[in-house]
Amino acid sequence: MSKSIGLRHLVIGGLLFLLPTLVLILLSGNSTYDTERGVTRFLNAFLTSYTIASVFFVVNMFQYSKSRQEPTAPWVSMTYAAILGIFVTFLLTSQGGFLMEENGSQRAQILYNIVHFIVTSLAILMAISIMVLLSFVNLESKEESEG
């Protein structure tokens, strides 16, 4: 029997991944939420996450290349990815307001994106740590449950 993942499983997995967003969209119905503002916020978050993650991976690949005795192979492409993210961010924020939410300047928008990314990341890390701590609290030893 083959262990490969079929197309049907990928489609079901993708739909399950998008299910919470689709439910929220359907439940919002005729709300007064501005769709353009939501798309702008999503694109800002995506660009910022891409850029910061690629800079992180440049450092990670630099350490990896030291362990593999290939000093430039892995991190050169990640450097290009980081430069591309920075370039696209500057290009799109300078195009007259497409990604400028309610900030007065390009620098303010980029700083806002970075601060928003840091706050969101800290919130996710705190939620993960609380869930891990709760799972450790709920563990029971086998001796207590058998007795």
Q: Answer for the pair 82, 51: CB distance below 8 angstroms, yes or no.
A: yes
Domain range enclosing 46: 35-141
Please check whether residue 108 lies inside any domain of the structure. yes
Report if residue 111 sits inside a domain. yes
Q: What is the mean pLDDT, run by run of 10 residues, along the chain of 147 residues? A: 72 82 72 68 78 78 72 72 80 68 74 83 90 83 56
Within-domain flag for 26: no
Q: Kindly report, residue by residue over 87-126, the tens digit of the pLDDT.
A: 877 777 677 666 666 767 777 777 887 888 888 889 889 9
pLDDT value for 144: 57
Which pLDDT score is estimated for 142?
A: 59
Mean confidence (pLDDT) of the chain: 76
Residue at 112 is within a domain: yes
Helix (H, G, I), strand (E, B) or coil at 145: helix
Percent of the chain exceeding pLDDT 90 equals 2
The pLDDT score that the predictor gives to residue 12 is: 86
Give the chain's domain count: 1
Packing angle of the helix pair 73-93, 35-67 (nearest 10 deg):
160
- pLDDT at residue 126, as a whole number: 93
pLDDT at res. 1: 47
Residue 96 falls within a domain, yes or no? yes
138 DSSP 8-state letter: T
CA distance 80 to 59: 13
